[in-house]
Structure 1
Amino acid sequence: MSFDGTFTHAMVHELSKQLTGGRVAKISQPYPNEVMLTVRSQSKNYPLLLSAHPSYARIQITEIPYANPATPTNFTMMLRKYLDGAILAELVQVDNDRIVRLNFNTRNELGDRQRISLVLEMMGRHSNLFLLDLGDQRILDLIKHVNPDQNRVRPLLPGATYQAPPAQNMINPFVSATNIEALVHDFPAAEVLAKQLQMTFQGLAHDTALLLARALHNNSQSVGENFHAFFSQFDQPVPTLTENAAGKTAFSAIAIHDSTVRSQTFPSLSQLLDFFYQDRAERERVNEQAGNLIHIVRNELKKNRTKLKKLQETLAESDHADEYRIKGELLTTYLGQVTRGMKEIELPNFYDDNHPLKITLSNQIGPSQNAQKYFNRYQKLKNAVAYVNEQLAKTEAEINYLANIQAQIELANPKDINEIRLELQQQGYIRLPKTKSRKKPRLQISQPEQFHASDGTLISVGKNNLQNDKLTLHTANKNDIWLHVKNLPGSHVIIHQANPQEQTLTEAALLAAYFSKARASASVPVDYVPVKKIRKPNGAKPGFVIYEGQRTLFVTPDEHIVDQLRG
């Protein structure tokens, strides 16, 4: 089931019980399209997510942690101005549409009563979140400003009067069952009936309409009774996650009776959505937070790989440098046989009596100049070898570093992206914003993620190069155990114990494999060694260390075990 009108109905019903009468205690906007309201209700804090994301728009209570930006957005400041300390009077769904109104009672600067509304429209790429003055329906602000030339249907800018999206002229199925008997009679096939139901009743996604079509054919009751029984389920939802034979998952507000899918139920709709959206939404948030980082790293990788190829070609050519020397010597020896204007000549080869050597000439220069040209080419290639080898080493190190950054972005949580951006600024890949101060920004390094082995031993995992360096070189004890996936980009992992049990060592190795480029692989080699044997070469890039005396474990990453260790 999609987050359609029926799911919205069930969600509003659930949230109303938990939040109505609660006070807004905290407001933040951790991501561009999403707002978090912490509502204090029934002696508990509820983090309410209001998402106007183009793909994952939704409203729910979420337990997924998030990091606040250092500087609040203008929209956040407006929300705090009008809603800080406000009382949530009601949550209302507009008909059976994907529009939810959160109406608040508050007081303005003069102490007068004021009614403010947050209107969340969950409509794909047109999703938006409005802050309204309920007195005159004026838009105080909205999370996405849209210029009039981009939307001529209604104004989407602060100061304009709020207008609801154009009406669909459909029937709210929670209010009326008009025409249902005629539809079932005229369209007996479930697939065809489902399409007609979508065209008649408001807020039905295709999967919901198909479930309804099948339910209407229950012969034990009348069509009208089947219709009302189906929609009554959404007032007492059974949050359900289903997985089909192909591994595709879906969520539903009602129980799914289908032997072809596996199902799992959750205590609440919000917990269901947390489980369903965690990986999907987190990855999308990382892409949003990363901004142009992915583009910059890809371009730098492409540039360095092209450079590496050219250097390798130059080095391969230098292997044949002696051929240019021999040709120069032969031309000098037989200079009298060479005349200006010749394009090639075949001369005896005193290094190989049985095979004369054919030599290409330039017809624009004289014999001695042709000979000198070959000597110059020989000398240039010989001189280039040392430089090319030096550049090859630097370029390979650059590629390894960038590949490591790319892997970190792929594995990162949204809160990790800012540190990666700061690191790239420090390394010169991103231009620093122009400021009066010439000082580079100070790197505020967050704490690595912490896990606990089965025996309670603390295990720390660095999630980016800055965390890796701090964890390995400054935080870890010299006798702690350091782990890293072998020959691939990945996190530094520290077991905070000198002699860990075998199971603890295996669990830490599993974490090292999971937080690496080899996350989706089987039998991943992981090196481990005491921290005292780790060394960082002078001038090395962030996150790069060398070590010796390591031992190797082979493990298979398992997300379920990672979650257990995290808990």
Structure 2
Amino acid sequence: MNYNILFAWTRDFPPERKIVDSVSYSEKALRIHFKDNTDLYLIISNYDAYPFLSSNPVPISEETPIWNQLIHSTLIKVSLDDNDRIMRFEFAQTDIYLQEKTYILIAEFILPKPNVILTEKNDELIIIDALKKYSYKDNPQRQILPKLPYQKPETAFKPYQKDLAFPLVLTSLETGEPIQCDTVNEYLKNHFLYVLSLKEALEHRKAIISYWEKELKKAQQKLYKQKEELEQANKCEYWRICAEILKVNLSNIQRGQTVLKAINYFDPELSTIEIELLSDKTPQENMLDYLKKYKKAKRGKEVIEHNLKETEKKIKQLENIVQKARNGELDELPQKEKLHQLSHKLDMAEKLLRLRIDDRFEIVIGRKASENDFITTQLARPYDWWFHSRLYHGSHILLRCLQKTNPPEELIHICCSLAAWYSKARFSQNVPVDYTQIRYVRKPHKSKPGFVTYTNHKTAFVQPMDLRTAKKELNL
């Protein structure tokens, strides 16, 4: 991020002291939650890095608690280095022995490898932990490891300070419309929501498409080579004919002869065939040589034809996967997942009962135990919502939040009603339905399909609603 914007944000930071309630870390951000229900986000994406404050939760990926040392500490000062994009957050804390401790959280908003480092202030800054650690092997000049003194990175960056012109304007990547911001914090928050997040999603989608297109290209090249090998293997019949004709004409072949001209008895027109011979071999050895080629080509042909069918099957699967990736239906790069497993996963996903509401939400309904298992354990993501009737057997209802946004209460109520309809309590009144986020749903080891446990749930008492009525309620 531009140095002047970071400098202005630091200057405008609220002067009141904030007490830390929790610290959590996700793939692209560190979030510090304060007891006044505000959040400080330190964005550390590979595409950009900056901070912003928010009074409302911002959708990011699944978070992990980190750095309990900062809990109950007070943020007393925020500063930006004079010569680089390094921001320092100073926290004061009194431990159980009434001893004062000072922690400095150093945010290096320097691309391409931004970092956040927790240090303790004594005579010098001693590193406690860091989101990204670097050993001597990674960087001989500068190590980021616990218990080592903190060293500033050496860069060629030279800040050029100038006043900002308000309102600040940025362009949304989704709509292309300009967004005017009256404050620097508003600008940074909107940049994350409408520029950076969408840019990361687009780049991630391109990476997925590129990966599967490369896999498809590899398979097509493999198919081309196998067809060439099959053409060679198709000569097995020619080798057999040569061996049979040599067998008939053994007495007519002289040692040292290089070519045999004979009648091809396998040709209805009885044409003449020329068979090449090795001069250093006897007629019998030449015949056995052609017979050996025939047997080898015949065995190879069977193997090649089998491999050819497998490759053609693989290409069809890959073409289907590439199409799914282009449609945005794949959201993860493959790790250890095999092709046939992913293909089966996509086939299963196509058979599910779905209701696409808009670009943000989609309702998925499982109609049997295997579908319930698939929806909850494979299709769902941590920020999606899960619904199931309480006390009654029924379907798992999944509300997919495609843009990681919180669903409105009306949509949650409709999902609860659908969960009541797709259960044994379909014709009952005031059916209890539990709902929670998928991150709180667990499947016990070796449990039967469809069986899960869950926590942090809420219960709603609703009237069952069929899918047709739900579509009318949603104006679909």
> Smaller-chain TM-score range?
0.5 to 0.7
Shift of 1:242: 4.6
Q: Which residue of 2 aligns with 1:527?
A: none
Q: Which residue of 1 aligns with 2:99?
A: 112
2:232 alignment partner, one of 304, 310, 317: 317
Query: Letter of the aligned partner of 1:316 in structure 2?
Result: E
1:203 aligns with 2:159: yes
1:48 aligns with 2:41: yes
Q: Which residue of 2 aligns with 1:523?
A: none
Quick check: 2:40–2:51 contact (8 Å CA) kept in 1? no
Q: Hey, which of these two has a bigger chunk of helix by percent?
A: 1
Shift of 1:6: 0.4
Quick check: 1:54–1:123 contact (8 Å CA) kept in 2? no
Q: What are the Cα deviations for residues 502-535 of structure 1, in whole angstroms up to 9, with x where unaligned?
A: xxxxxxxxxxxxxxxxxxxxxxxxxxxxxxxxxx
In 2: Cα distance, 1:84 partner to 1:412 partner:
40
Q: Which residue of 2 aligns with 1:490?
A: none
Shift of 1:66: 0.2
Q: Which residue of 1 aligns with 2:282?
A: 366
Q: Which residue of 1 aligns with 2:118?
A: 131
1:240 aligns with 2:155: no
In 2: Cα distance, 1:307 partner to 1:167 partner:
47
Quick check: 2:21–2:35 contact (8 Å CA) kept in 1? no
Query: Letter of the aligned partner of 2:134 in structure 1?
Result: V
1:348 aligns with 2:341: no
Query: Letter of the aligned partner of 2:159 in structure 1?
Result: G
Q: Which residue of 2 aligns with 1:7?
A: 5
Quick check: 1:6–1:96 contact (8 Å CA) kept in 2? no
1:396 aligns with 2:312: yes
In 2: Cα distance, 1:141 partner to 1:397 partner:
50
Quick check: 2:107–2:115 contact (8 Å CA) kept in 1? yes
In structure 2, relative to structure 1, the CA distance for the partners of 1:379 and 1:301 (3 Å cut) is same
In 2: Cα distance, 1:281 partner to 1:392 partner:
39
Quick check: 1:348–1:355 contact (8 Å CA) kept in 2? yes
Quick check: 2:47–2:196 contact (8 Å CA) kept in 1? no
Quick check: 1:140–1:158 contact (8 Å CA) kept in 2? yes
1:231 alignment partner, one of 149, 157, 163: 163
In structure 2, relative to structure 1, the CA distance for the partners of 1:158 and 1:412 (3 Å cut) is farther
Q: Which residue of 2 aligns with 1:89?
A: 76
Q: What are the Cα deviations for residues 126-157 of structure 1, in whole angstroms up to 9, with x where unaligned?
A: 64322121343222223333345765666643
Quick check: 2:22–2:34 contact (8 Å CA) kept in 1? no
In 1: Cα distance, 2:312 partner to 2:371 partner:
23
Identity level (%): 20
Q: What are the Cα deviations for residues 23-59 of structure 1, in whole angstroms up to 9, with x where unaligned?
A: 333333322xx442242364x34261341x5542332
In 2: Cα distance, 1:105 partner to 1:472 partner:
43
Q: Which residue of 1 aligns with 2:337?
A: 423
Q: How does 1:153-552 map to 2 (within 5 A)?
A: 156-165=144-153, 203-204=159-160, 231=163, 233=165, 237-242=166-171, 263-266=178-181, 268-269=186-187, 270-282=189-201, 307-350=222-265, 351=267, 353=269, 355-401=271-317, 416=332, 420-421=334-335, 423-424=337-338, 452-453=356-357, 458-460=362-364, 470-471=374-375
In 1: Cα distance, 2:229 partner to 2:20 partner:
66
Q: Which residue of 1 aligns with 2:461?
A: none
In 2: Cα distance, 1:111 partner to 1:413 partner:
55
In structure 2, relative to structure 1, the CA distance for the partners of 1:99 and 1:155 (3 Å cut) is same
In 2: Cα distance, 1:472 partner to 1:381 partner:
51
- The residue matched to 1:341 in structure 2 has which SS? coil
Q: How does 1:25-44 map to 2 (within 5 A)?
A: 25-31=21-27, 34-40=28-34, 42=36, 44=37
1:21 alignment partner, one of 17, 28, 31: 17
1:64 aligns with 2:59: yes
Shift of 1:407: 7.7
Query: Letter of the aligned partner of 2:33 in structure 1?
Result: V
Unaligned runs of 5+ in 1: 169-197, 210-229, 244-248, 250-260, 429-444, 481-495, 498-564
Quick check: 1:132–1:141 contact (8 Å CA) kept in 2? yes
Query: Letter of the aligned partner of 1:340 in structure 2?
Result: R
- The residue matched to 1:342 in structure 2 has which SS? coil
In 2: Cα distance, 1:469 partner to 1:322 partner:
53
In 1: Cα distance, 2:167 partner to 2:355 partner:
33
Query: Letter of the aligned partner of 2:20 in structure 1?
Result: V
In 2: Cα distance, 1:472 partner to 1:330 partner:
68
1:142 aligns with 2:120: no
Shift of 1:8: 0.8
In 1: Cα distance, 2:98 partner to 2:325 partner:
48
In structure 2, relative to structure 1, the CA distance for the partners of 1:322 and 1:275 (3 Å cut) is same
Quick check: 2:171–2:177 contact (8 Å CA) kept in 1? yes
Q: What are the Cα deviations for residues 432-483 of structure 1, in whole angstroms up to 9, with x where unaligned?
A: xxxxxxxxxxxxx9xx9x97426x9954499xxx9999249999x99x9xxx
In structure 2, relative to structure 1, the CA distance for the partners of 1:120 and 1:37 (3 Å cut) is same
Aligned length: 361
Q: Hey, which of these two has a bigger chunk of strand by percent?
A: 2
Shift of 1:161: 3.0
In 1: Cα distance, 2:177 partner to 2:319 partner:
38
In 2: Cα distance, 1:7 partner to 1:283 partner:
25
Q: Taking structure 2 as the reference length, what is the TM-score of the superposition?
A: 0.59
Shift of 1:167: 9.7
- The residue matched to 2:255 in structure 1 has which SS? coil
Shift of 1:22: 3.3
- The residue matched to 2:335 in structure 1 has which SS? helix
Shift of 1:231: 0.9
- The residue matched to 1:59 in structure 2 has which SS? strand
In structure 2, relative to structure 1, the CA distance for the partners of 1:272 and 1:238 (3 Å cut) is farther
In 2: Cα distance, 1:101 partner to 1:473 partner:
41
Quick check: 1:27–1:84 contact (8 Å CA) kept in 2? yes
- Of 128-137 and 303-312, the range deviating more from structure 2: 303-312
In 2: Cα distance, 1:85 partner to 1:241 partner:
36
In 2: Cα distance, 1:424 partner to 1:458 partner:
27
In structure 2, relative to structure 1, the CA distance for the partners of 1:474 and 1:277 (3 Å cut) is closer
In 2: Cα distance, 1:366 partner to 1:426 partner:
52
Quick check: 2:42–2:49 contact (8 Å CA) kept in 1? no
- The residue matched to 1:357 in structure 2 has which SS? strand
